[in-house]
Amino acid sequence: MLPSRHSWVSQPRLRHDDYTRLAAPRLGEWQPTLSVSVLVPAGGAGEWLDVVLAALGAQGYPRHLFEVVVVEPGDAPRVDADVILRLAPALLPAPDHLEAHLRWHHLADYLVVTGASRPAGTDLHPADVLEAVAVGKTVELFDPTPASDVVVPGYATASGAVSFSNRLYRDCGGADPLLPAGGEIELGYRLAQAGAVFVAEPEARAWRLTAPEPTPGPPARYGEQVLRHRVPVRRDLRTAPGRDWLVPFVDIVVEVNGRPYPDVVATVNGALGGTVSDVRVSLVGPWPDLPAAAPAEPRLADLWLIREEFAADGRVRLVESVEATSAPAPYRFVCPPGLALGSDALRLLIEQADQAGLGWLMLAVARGTELAIARLERTQAVARALALREPDEDLGDVVDELFGVHWIDGAEWALRTPAQAAKAAMTTPHLIASVERLEEDVARRKNERAKLKEDVQRWRQLAQMPWQTRLAAGAKRRLDRLRRQGKRADGTP
């Protein structure tokens, strides 16, 4: 295994996903220092595995700085190099493929680089490709221009070749080798939640030596199941409300120690009862200190009641502390006890944060002489800020620099007191019934309007016909009606 040789001391702070401000060196005009482990899957490469390995051996990247690891299905090899590059099966890299990837990683350790791949054709023989690799004429076998489909859609890493720093790979939890179809997209999603910026590199050329065959039937459903449970931003796959998912869309954090039982219950009920239903509530408190039976000490009574109230709820977890981010959940909402989210507040808050690309959306609520502060966090923003901030630097300042921080009055529409929440809950069924009646009335009026438009169009067409044509059409309709009446009189159908 290769040792880690490089350290990123001072890194650029990219706002959102804008990597265009980085000046990557030109190929062949810089000196690499990063080590890289290239992971090549054994399964699926077939007769092309030796050819791919030969092409990797012919790379122009310094040989002492990279290794090639052939990965068997289900394996998750441990690597110590600075960068990891994963190749798809039977993907033949151009001689400067590694250099094109690695020139970006020397600039920052939170970049994910995807290459460009295109079909190589079906009239190739492994021996011919191997010979071309040996004499340095690989590119002459194929179309040397970069592929046009190099644009990276969001967090996708299914382009054939993808690379990332070892640090970022560890922070996101690594790849799950047991996942079926959809595993690469799931890995890309978790890399994004770890703070990654995705770079599309057209100069990282490669050719697919075998055309991917569609996999019908159950395997396609396996991939959809992976995304449904593990990639919550795929909202189109989570259409069933009230379900408990492996990865929640929002982790709602509530610090409960010292807070009254009714306040915490109101906050949790508001969190679980909203239109965004795929949430998890993390109640933070000293739960191990509680006895199994009802405590005699008054200071523990509220905590014990809270535990008994929510211990059996699958969407609530009792924890002593929370992690630095809520990854792999894409959002965290920190809510003070005693404030309850409105039924549609969480959805609207996320929409507002997404429209502006905010890292934090801060909500201020006055409670008497106190000011309660709630916060919606974008996991990707917090993860990147944690990786880039200086030891004495305020996290919020870094989040603001990278993504933006915005303040709103939370009491206007997002958060309510327990009394306001109870009143809203009493009126909600009546509001729902009124909305349903209005929707039915709108649908009925739309149908009537459509029928009226059809009638107007028909009469307009008749009005534009010559009178002889209208007379003939009328006579034909009367004749048809008489014939039908005559058949019914005869007893014929």
Tell me: the pLDDT tens digits for 76-111? Answer: 778 899 999 999 888 889 999 999 999 999 999 999
Residue with tokens 């939370």: 410
Cβ atoms of residues 342 and 424 within 8 Å: yes
**Would you give the DSSP letter of residue 67?**
E
Confidence band for 150, pLDDT divided at 50, 70 and 90? very low
Q: Is the pLDDT of residue 489 over 90?
A: no
Q: Is the pLDDT of residue 419 over 90?
A: no
**Would you give the DSSP letter of residue 377?**
E
Q: Is the pLDDT of residue 371 over 70?
A: yes
Cβ atoms of residues 302 and 342 within 8 Å: no
Reduced 3-state DSSP string for 90-155: CEEECCCHHHHHHHHHCCCCCEEEEEEEEECCCCCCHHHHHHHHHCCCCHHHCCCCCCCCCCCCCC
Q: How many residues does the chain have?
A: 493
Average pLDDT over residues 334-349: 95
Cβ atoms of residues 274 and 344 within 8 Å: yes
SS3 state of residue 85: strand
Parallel/antiparallel/unpaired status of strands 197-208 and 91-93? antiparallel
Q: Is the pLDDT of residue 434 over 60?
A: no
SS3 state of residue 307: helix
* Nearest CA-CA partner of 86 in 36, 129, 134: 36
Query: What is the model's pLDDT at position 393?
Result: 95
* Nearest CA-CA partner of 116 in 86, 151, 85, 141: 151
- Using a cut of 0.85, tell me whether the model's pTM lies above it: no
Confidence band for 449, pLDDT divided at 50, 70 and 90? confident
* pLDDT, tens digit (0-9, with 9 covering 90-100), for 208-265: 887 555 555 556 677 888 889 999 999 999 988 788 999 999 999 999 988 999 999 9
How does DSSP assign 32-92, residue by residue?
----EEEEEESTTTGGGHHHHHHHHHT-SS-GGGEEEEEE-TT------SSEEEEEPTTEE
Average pLDDT over residues 366-384: 94
Bigger pLDDT: 132 vs 282: 282
Q: Is the pLDDT of residue 340 over 80?
A: yes
Bigger pLDDT: 129 vs 291: 291
Q: Record the tokens describing residue 261, joined without a space.
A: 């039982």
Query: What is the model's pLDDT at position 444?
Result: 73
Enumerate residues 6+ apart whose C-beta is below 8 A from 241.
277
